[in-house]
Structure 1
Amino acid sequence: MSEENSEPDLVIDSDWKSQVEQEKQVAPEPAAEEAMQQMPPPSLAFLISTFYSQAMIALGVMPNPATEEKSTDLPMAKHFIDTLEMLREKTKGNTDDEENKMFDEVLHLLRMAYVGATKG
């Protein structure tokens, strides 16, 4: 630091990129590791249920977990329903009986809830 300037002198580490890489490779914190262990394995059923939950929140059937309040966003709900329908079409022939049944049930429930929300 120079006497005439109270600001610290800028020191440039020529190896800053490798230092950043080393910091990235540090083991995750125990809390992050625990959270990863609690996550369900990736699956089509998990993806379907995620879209289902988001659509039910948009339909005002379930409260938004961030606000704990119910609100209706019909265009968003329709988007989630349409996305599930597209996913069903794109995966046709690559799903098992259980996944097909889940698509049928979820889409039926969402369509009924959507109709109810548009009339209510």
Structure 2
Amino acid sequence: MEEKEDKGFVVKDRRKVAREESEQPEAAAGPETAGKEDREAEAKGERAPSGEESRHVPLPEVTLATFVFSLSSSALVHLGEVPDPESQSVRVDLPLAKQIIDTLGMLQEKTRGNLDPDEDRLLKTVLYDLRLRYVQKSGK
């Protein structure tokens, strides 16, 4: 009995994106060779940056602190404390701000006893500040 080799799955990007001139020869090479280097790098655990990605500033390392700051920034946007980074408009969306604050509270409960002292202090401080701002905005 002959066994078939498991080939995994194939992901095809069907978005319509205008390609740069430097990318056009790759597209003309055909689907079997287009992106071959990206797939090989991805299989090795490396990732070759595409033209668009190479122009962006590298993202910070994902740590608990960066995750907490990210959620905190989103909550501040929804509390109307800082402008939305994309539209530069200031809007207040208290239910969404509460959702994010509650998510941080859940994170605090679920990680209790597993954080180092700095992480614990950061989470407590951020939650205290966001909850205080929420109460002030909501008038409760």
Task: Give the TM-score taking structure 1 as reference length.
Answer: 0.75
Aligned length: 104
d(CA) in 2 for partners of 1:32, 1:59: 31
Q: Provide the aligned C-alpha RMSD in A.
A: 2.3
Identity percentage of aligned residues? 35
* 1:98 shift after superposition: 0.5
d(CA) in 1 for partners of 2:104, 2:68: 7
Residues 35 and 75 of structure 1: CA distance in aligned 2, closer, same or farther (over 3 Å): same
d(CA) in 2 for partners of 1:102, 1:34: 32
Among candidates 36, 49, 53, match of residue 32 of structure 1: 53
- After TM superposition, the structure 1 stretch with the greater mean CA deviation from structure 2, 98-107 or 87-96, is 87-96
Q: SS at 1:19's partner residue? A: coil
Q: Indicate the structure with greater helix content.
A: 1
1:109 aligns with 2:138: no
More contact order relative to length (CA 8 Å, sep ≥ 6) = 1
- After TM superposition, the structure 1 stretch with the greater mean CA deviation from structure 2, 110-119 or 22-31, is 22-31
1:81 aligns with 2:101: yes
* 1:19 shift after superposition: 3.0
Name stretches of at least 5 consecutive residues in structure 2 with no aligned partner: 1-29, 42-47
Task: Give the TM-score taking structure 2 as reference length.
Answer: 0.65
2:7 alignment counterpart? none
d(CA) in 2 for partners of 1:90, 1:17: 46
Name stretches of at least 5 consecutive residues in structure 1 with no aligned partner: 1-15
Query: 1:1-120 to 2 correspondence within 5 Å?
Result: 18-20=32-34, 22=36, 24-25=38-39, 27-29=48-50, 32-33=53-54, 35=56, 38-119=58-139
> Between Structure 1 and Structure 2, whose CA radius of gyration is higher?
1
